[in-house]
Structures are given as structure tokens and as C-alpha cells.
Amino acid sequence: MINVVVVGGGWAGCAAALAAAKAGAQVVLLERTDLLLGTGLVGGIFRNNGRFTAAEEAIAMGGGDLFVAMDANSRHRGIHFPGHSHASFYDVTTMEPLVKKILQNYGIDVRSRTRVANVVKYRKKIQYLVNDNDEIIQGDAFVDTTGTSGPMGNCLKYGNGCAMCILRCPTFGPRVSITAKADVKEIIGKKADGSYGAMSGSCKINKDSLRPELKDQLEKEGMVVIPLPENLKKTGMLGKKACSQYAIADYAENIVLIDTGHAKLMTPFFPLDALRTIPGLERARYEDPYSGGVGNSIRYLGMAPCSHSLKVDGVDNLFCAGEKAGIMVGHTEAVVTGLLAGHNAVRCCLDMQYLELPSELAAGDFIAFIHEQMTTEEGLRLRYTFSGSVYFERMKKLELYSSQRGEVNDRVTKTNLTDIYNTCLV
């Protein structure tokens, strides 16, 4: 039996663990907090714009378990909101236990409240990890999905606060990068003004604090757009956002609320006093433990240099996914890269050629494009997603975007990758 250890239980880590288990490995998934999904606990948007294509590609390749779970747990489907078409919103309040059950059904050993403290390496291979309790965790290959946010000191240094406390560093300790612990120099992304990092793109309002008729409208329609008065328009902050797909004028000129269980406010932060001057939001309060009034968490402070197979440069048995693999935004992007990293971790153990997704697929072109862009100063200041901004424009130009399931299936079939993630390699 080969052993794969995945560190970081966000969407990317869950997908990596799933892909490695389906490929035949015995898998341990380590998560430092008491909940899986990371920022997926506050996100909820998927299948919007090119994410529909990417999700269908993953399903056709046999990696659809997590997307099927999101579909089954959606509060709203086929929603159109500013700049986005055919979006679905999964319920962020009930998603985590469902995903955990799926992983456990595949025999994955999910260990929450397990924070890695050290990495022991011999030459170019990781031998084992050591956690906070000095326990040794052995593996043949490892996947780093620890993200790029935090710890708190970085959020305070590079932003104006660490309000998106879903990461809960004070309770569970800061993020530990396996890549950095393995002596690999990480890459730092930048904001449009050249300063480091980028601010997370939304915050949450307690739904019960909304005026009842506004809450009813939100739950019925899935989203609400409220025009802002001139003095509250926020055009100057769009370049600070991690989620560049929402860095368009509609989000500076309006309050956009989305129903993901919470009332998701599509802006990195909004001063509470100003928010309460808007009709319907007179009693608004941010959902604990997030504040949202003055700032948000800062991301892209530690990405791993890696190949298109998502193997980390300089370490023979370490792979990465999600934000760790590039300046990407979103759950779909995390799942797609997580599947590839987990699958290739098993190939590494079997001394097989690594899988690289071809450019005929959106996921393959996405990974290669990000890596190319990150070699330039300008490219480090952009963020990449299937759902908007520079990469969605590229998808459309290359005719990689499709909202037709049959068309995507045919494309995957032509690459001979149908059900590749359902194939046991061991």
C-alpha cells in the first residue's frame, strides 16, 4: 500500500485526498482547525461563467464527487447577477459535514485539529511530518494545500485587518506551509499598486439583522442588488480584491447580497456605520466571527513554484494545489487543481509519468496560463479564475467556455481522459 499525506483541508485538500484515494492510495488528510473547507465555509458560489465548464470537465474525468455534492446542497441554481451567468450557491452552513462524510466513505483518514510543526527531509524527498504533539506522520508522497493566507501578523502588515477569521489563527495557530518548511522559496503575489497580497473578496452579514422584507427577497430570489448613494460608492478599492471577477463597476456602485446561508456581501469590507444608512440594512451586523467593517484577510503570501503537473520544484515527492499552486480564486479552481495534485501524488509513488492536463481542456490551459503569467511582474498583480477577469476572457477567445454538458464531455473524450480520476493505479 502506498501512503499519501494531504496537508490542508480546504476544497483543494479535500479534492486531492479524494483523487489519491480513488487512484488507490491510503490517504491521511490533516487539517489544523476543527472544520474542513477553509474559505469554502464562507464562499458558496460555483458554476458561474467558465466555472460551469471546469466543473463539467472534472465530472467527465471522474472527479465529480465534490461538484455533485455542491449541486445537491445548493440553495439556488441558475442565478444571474452582475457580470455572472448560471451561478449556483451552495449552503455554506451545511456543506462541511457532507464533504467530510464523502471523504470518510472513501476510507480517507481525516484528522482535524492536527497542525504540522515540522517537515523532515532527506536530500530531495520529504521523509515524514511532525505535528504539534510531536507525533510522526509517515508518507510516500505529500500534497501541500495549506493556502496562502495568514498568519494574523501578515494580515495586519499587508492589509488593514484580519477580519475574515474563518481561518481562526488565534484559536488553532497560524497556517504552516509545507513548501516553506521543505526549504523551497515561495512566490508572493501583489496588489495592483505593487504592494503584497490581495484582500479576500467578500464578507458576511447576519441574515436576521436584515429588514424582514429584504431577507425574504434574498431567500426567494437568491440575490439582491441595492444601488448605493454617490457618497458611498467605492470605486477606489476594486484593485485590492482577491476576487477580480467581482472587481467591476457594478460592485462599487451597488450593494450586492447573495444567499449562501449567510447574506454574502460582495465586497471585501464596508464600514458598519455607512452600511446602516442603506434602507433595509439599518440593523445590519457582521456574522461572527467576521467583522467586515474595516478589513479582511490577506492572501497570496506564499505560493509554491511548481510544474504544470503541480509537483513542487526542488522536492521530488511534494505536490500542491489551490492557491498554493498559483494566484487563483475560487472553490472550483481549488477542486480542479486538487484532483490533479492528488492523482499525481499516487503516480509519483508508482514511478509513473505525471499527468498534465492538455490545453484543449480549460483546466489544462488555466494551469499553464497562470504559471506563464506569474513569471512577469504584471502577471503577479493579477488574479485568475474561470469566472471572470483576464482568464474568462481568454476562455471565450479560445472557445474553451461552454455551458453545454454534452459539448464538454465530447472535448474530454477527445483527450482520452474520460474517467481518468476514477482509475485505480495501484
Tell me: the pLDDT tens digits for 44-60? 999 999 999 999 999 99
Contacts of 208 (CB under 8 A, 6+ apart): 215
Q: Is the distance from CB of 337 to CB of 321 less than 8 angstroms?
A: yes
C-alpha dihedral sign at 73, 76, 77, 80: negative
Q: Which domains does the chain have, with CATH numbers?
A: 3-195+298-415 (3.50.50.60), 199-288 (no CATH)
CA distance 205 to 287: 5
Structure confidence at residue 195 (pLDDT): 79
Check: CB of residue 209 under 8 Å from CB of residue 286: no
Phi and psi dihedrals of 197, rounded to 5?
80, -175
Determine if the pTM surpasses 0.85. yes
Q: How far apart are CA 297 and CA 368, in angstroms?
A: 27
Phi, psi of 400 (to 5 degrees): -90, -20
- Using one digit for the tens of pLDDT, what is the confidence trace for 289-310? 666 777 677 788 889 999 999 9
CA nearest to 250, candidates 381, 89, 43, 84:
84
Q: What are the CA-CA distances from residue 138 to residues 49, 220, 286, 388 (Å)?
A: 41, 49, 42, 40
pLDDT, residue 161, reads: 58
For the chain, how are helix, strand and coil distributed in percent, rounded to 5? 35, 20, 40
Q: Residue 246 has what pLDDT? A: 66
Beta bridge partners of 7: 30, 144
State how far the Cα of 57 lies from the Cα of 363, in Å rounded to an integer: 8
Question: Cis (ω within 30 of 0) for the bond into 289?
Answer: yes
Q: How far apart are CA 210 and CA 278, in angstroms?
A: 11
Contact 43, 331 (CB under 8 A): yes
Q: Which residues pair with 79 in a beta bridge?
A: 87
- Give pLDDT tens digits along the chain (426 positions): 999 999 999 999 999 999 999 999 999 999 999 999 988 888 899 999 999 999 999 999 999 999 999 999 999 999 999 899 999 999 999 999 999 999 999 999 999 999 999 999 999 999 999 999 999 999 999 999 998 876 667 776 776 656 556 777 777 877 889 999 999 999 988 877 787 777 766 788 999 999 999 999 999 999 999 999 888 876 555 555 556 666 677 888 899 999 999 899 888 788 889 999 999 999 999 886 666 777 677 788 889 999 999 999 999 999 999 999 999 999 999 999 999 999 999 999 999 999 999 999 999 999 999 999 999 999 998 889 999 889 999 999 999 999 999 999 999 999 999 999 999 999
Answer for the pair 255, 278: CB distance below 8 angstroms, yes or no. yes
